[in-house]
Chains A and B, each alone.
Chain A
Amino acid sequence: MEAERGDRSSFEAYVRARSMTLSRIAYLLTGDHHLAEDLVQQTFLRVAGRWQRIAAEGDPDPYVRKVLYHEHISRWRRARRAARVAAEDIDRSVPDTADQVAIAVAVQRALAQLGARQRAALVLRYFEDLTEAQAAEILGCRIGTVKSQVRDGLARLRVLAPELAELMEVTP
């Protein structure tokens, strides 16, 4: 009982400390505030049940992020339309006044057109700034797969948003 109380405290401390970071990732992955909320909440629900083992292994972050990404991909498979609907919402909600905002909107709209794995690979590589090996570990795939997902994702972004070509000139 004492041990469970300790686990709960450490879980809640972790949630407080990391929920904003995970929310940002989730928002990038889903492109929608509600979906991002739901994704993070489901991730914490799943993690809570296994917290004792996760905490015992040391830093919970890699495992929690793995759960988040896999949950996202699973949801995307179950309901592919969700991201597209979200993308349409974004069109309406974000004002197209400044250049920076316009670029962000364009990128977000283009991201919404990508597959879940491609989007996850791009977020891991260009937002979380992880190496290909780390990204592969989180996605549970080979490094070569991450490379191809990033390459194909960028190529697709170029097609979807040719006006952002300069933005895509990155070294994957």
Chain B
Amino acid sequence: MTRLTEVLTAIADGARPVPIAEDTWRRGVRRRRSRVVGAGLVIAAAGLATTVWLFGGGGGRATGPGGSAPPVVPSTVYSPVTGQDTVVEAPPGPAAILVAGDHELRGSDIWGWEGRSLLVSQDGRYRLARTVGESSAGIAGGLLLSPDGRYLAGLPWLEGASWPDDARAQTALLDLSTGEVVQRDGGDPVVWAPDGASLLVHAYPPDGSGQPYRIGSLGLLDVGTGRTRSLPEIRGRMRMGNVAAFSPDGTRLAVATEDALYVVDLGRDTLVRLADLTEHDRLAGPGAWLPDGQRIAMYSMSGCADGESCDETALGQRRFQIRYLDAGTGQPAQGPPLAVARGLAARLLGWQRNGAAVVAVYSPEAGLRKPAGDPSWSETDWWAVGGVELMRFATDGSQRRLVDLPGSALFVDVPANLLDRFGGPSPSRLEGALRWLLALYWPAGQVAELVVVVVGLAVGLSLWRRRRRRGPRRAAVRNAAEGR
């Protein structure tokens, strides 16, 4: 014993006996129980909150102007994952949105089809729509959703279709409810009619004399019968993303070339040259007709125009100011004063009931350079576009993003009948986070996902084998103990 021990013992000898209350046991047990119950409640509440947060919708801001139909176009679209079904393998039903793009939008399809389009159904299912070539906005490679979202129109290089042996231009129509594809002669798809019963198609002359970006012949394809009705001939070069728009009642068609705006009366089969256009003018998009059917929206573009050479920065700063023409006279008309769209290009997809416009605004590809007077230049083609945003331009001059798209999205399409139904449910935050993680540094995330699955299976198998081996050993030990 050390001296310190002696001293400590001496001090401890001075301690008084501690009175212990009679009810110590009862209080102690009660305190413990209340703490266990309290902790259980806290854990349950935290678990519930976490579950709701993780598995609850990843967004759902209703943006429709007081409409009764529930929102279905998701607030956020994430990337596809490895093994994502295609629209042909597992038809998802009518679509809510279609997003085409690069990198992670290919999902696991690293080496296969070049076209990468993600389709989200109206009940939230993700599917890939694969095409042989890249997707673009508008015609020549674009994929078009019918107004009700049930059909997907594209070139016959769409998965499920077969490219015709001869030079006939065809449109492939994929029924998203059944996965069946029908191919119709008459031309490439340009824009759906508002009732979804017909489709504007265009074709180059069969003798091969057509040139890129020339309109060629236009026809109205009856989706049901497959018959194509030829429309009056229009000559000129077109801007692929801003070439034609049906009037809301489907009786007239606006068609824009680089130097003129035409209106085709589909009932009388007549053609009117409504206005002259310059290199700064664009038909606003497939939704250019205002809901009253009396006015047509146009964009006046300021910035790098057709005859100029410019770089990515200049192309990304182009300004698209909306203006309106009287559909009967071609004279300037009044219309909603929307904010200026800035970017490489803009396509007005349609109007909401409160007067706001739904617009796809494109930004240029990194390092893009536009040569002066390049006849093959197209501002909405896949090689020029580097990104897209789906925006709402309100009548009070404000604008905001309608859907958060994956970073590599280049093109987006929403069925015309759903333009008032944005703000629909998205995948849960957990699923969204996983999809986001897998999309990082594509295709590293996809490969990592595969590795995790393989390692998980290997570990599971190993544990299972070990348990099987231990089972008899444990029984032997137990038997020996009982015998003892």
Interface residues of A (CB under 8 A from B): 8, 11-12, 15, 19-20, 22-28, 33, 36-37, 40-41, 44-51, 100, 103-104, 107-108, 122-123, 126-127, 129, 166-171
Contacts and interface: CB of A to CB of B under 8 A. Distances in A.
B11 interface: yes
Contacts of B3: 166-167, 169-170
B267 interface: no
Contacts, number: 103
A107 B28 contact: no
B2 A126 contact: yes
Contact of A19 (B20, B31, B32, B33): B20
Contacts of B24: 15, 41, 44-45, 48
B209 interface: no
A126 B8 contact: yes
Contacts of B13: 24
A81 to B, nearest CB: 21
Contacts of B235: none
Interface in B399-443: none
Contact of A104 (B5, B11, B28, B35): B11
A128 B315 CA distance: 82
Nearest to A129: B5
Contacts of B31: 45, 49
Contact of B32 (A48, A107, A108, A169): A48
Interface string B1-24: 011110111111111111111001
Contacts of A23: 15-18
Contacts of A8: 25
Contacts of B197: none
B5 A103 contact: no
Contact of B17 (A20, A50, A107, A127): A20
A27 B13 CA distance: 9
Contact of A49 (B15, B16, B28): B28
Contact of A126 (B4, B10, B16, B29): B4
B15 A107 contact: no
A50 B32 contact: yes
B8 A123 contact: yes
Given A33-B16, A36-B16, A127-B5, 19 more contacts: A11-B25, A19-B18, A24-B13, A36-B18, A37-B16, A37-B18, A41-B20, A50-B32, A51-B25, A107-B7, A108-B11, A122-B4, A122-B8, A129-B5, A166-B3, A167-B3, A167-B4, A167-B7, A171-B2
Contacts of A40: 18, 20
Nearest to A11: B25
Nearest to A46: B28
B25 A27 contact: no
B350 to A, nearest CB: 65
Contacts of B5: 126-127, 129, 170
Nearest to B15: A27
B4 A44 contact: no
A11 B20 CA distance: 12
28 contacts: A15-B20, A20-B18, A23-B15, A23-B17, A24-B12, A33-B16, A37-B16, A37-B18, A37-B19, A41-B21, A45-B24, A45-B31, A46-B28, A48-B25, A48-B29, A50-B32, A104-B11, A122-B4, A126-B4, A126-B5, A126-B8, A127-B9, A127-B12, A166-B3, A167-B7, A170-B3, A170-B5, A171-B2
Contacts of B8: 28, 107, 122-123, 126-127
Contacts of A168: 4
